[in-house]
Amino acid sequence: MKQRSLAGLAVSEIGFGTMSFASTYGASPERAEAIRVIRGAHDRGVTFFDTAEAYGPWTNEELVGEALRPIRDQVVIATKFGFNIDQNTGQRGAGVNSRPEQVRLVVEKSLKRLGIETIDLLYQHRVDPAVPIEEVAGVVKELVAAGKVRHFGMSEAAASTIRRAHAVHPVTAIQSEYSLWTRDPEAEVLPLCAELGIGFVPWSPLGAGYLTGKIDASTPIDSTDFRASSPRFTTEARAANQVLVDLLQRIAAGKGATPAQIALAWLLARATFIVPIFGTRRLERVEENLGAGAITLTPADLEEIENAFSAMEIKGERLPPSVLQFSYR
């Protein structure tokens, strides 16, 4: 697989997000199967793996650490701090928590769960309005100096906050939701990344599965699946947004590809500093998604997509209000 650079951090051009192994989409698969899929992704060229203390909490970091331990020196591991999780009990409290003492403690615990000496890329999962971002960046700077962290990232942060953090310690990557049906970063965050030389990592590049064309208005969604509470996954929203999937299917048919591959290829074509991370529980989907790297979207293809998209109105907020309130601060 081709490589890309996140502000000097070399990674595979497509990364693997592991949140789907943490009961986010319903009951988790067997541990052995999850490890097989994660290692299978590496066998197929992925060198960039993403987790977080909040996934579980904690269980996902332990899983990723076990899966990647035999190939630790061949991969880049990203994890995150920032939600209000009791570091003794694992109980999730309200809101966010990026107090310096919490950040230091989370890093120590994450290192142990992952079984590594240094976190390659440490994201602030969500901005904490109660803690100046300069303090957060300063703590991460200390952790970098101590050899516990290599690179600093931020997730779902506003452009002005990113700029302030970057002035204290270089930000390597911004991770925010970005896809053909969620284009919020285009207004301010992506131009800032281009200006400052920061990498950008789109999460949910396939619209939580919707852009693959395998979900429509009639697809049942289990109550334990987070999409059951998502405004964009109501029956009405899925029916209204089908026009976007139809567009992807039309482009895919002309390329001998799948809608998922076109959605990922579109992101790869947006800028060379963009490295999307997809999530799946199935190895065949890993193989399918990685095939996006072999697809070239011509200027005419991109113009067709843009023209068609400009005539659409995506229905439904991308996240429930309880989650969306923590974004772009």
| Interval 188-239: pLDDT, tens | 999 999 999 999 999 999 999 999 999 999 999 999 999 999 999 999 999 9
Question: What pLDDT, on a 0 to 100 scale, did the predictor assign at position 261?
Answer: 98
Note the pTM of the prediction, 2 decimals: 0.97
Per-residue pLDDT, 27: 77
Closest CA to 276 of 209, 200, 211, 207: 200
pLDDT for position 262: 98
Positions marked catalytic: 55
- Dist. CA 292–CA 257, nearest whole Å: 8
**Which domains are delineated in the chain?**
3-206+267-295 (3.20.20.100)
Res 251: pLDDT: 97
Tokens of 3: 């490589």
Predicted pLDDT at 25? 79
In the prediction, which pLDDT does 246 show? Answer: 97
Return the pLDDT at 24.
Answer: 74
Dihedral angle computed from the Cα positions of residues 86, 83, 58 and 75, in that order, rounded to the nearest 10 degrees: -140
Q: Which residues of the chain have pLDDT under 50?
A: none
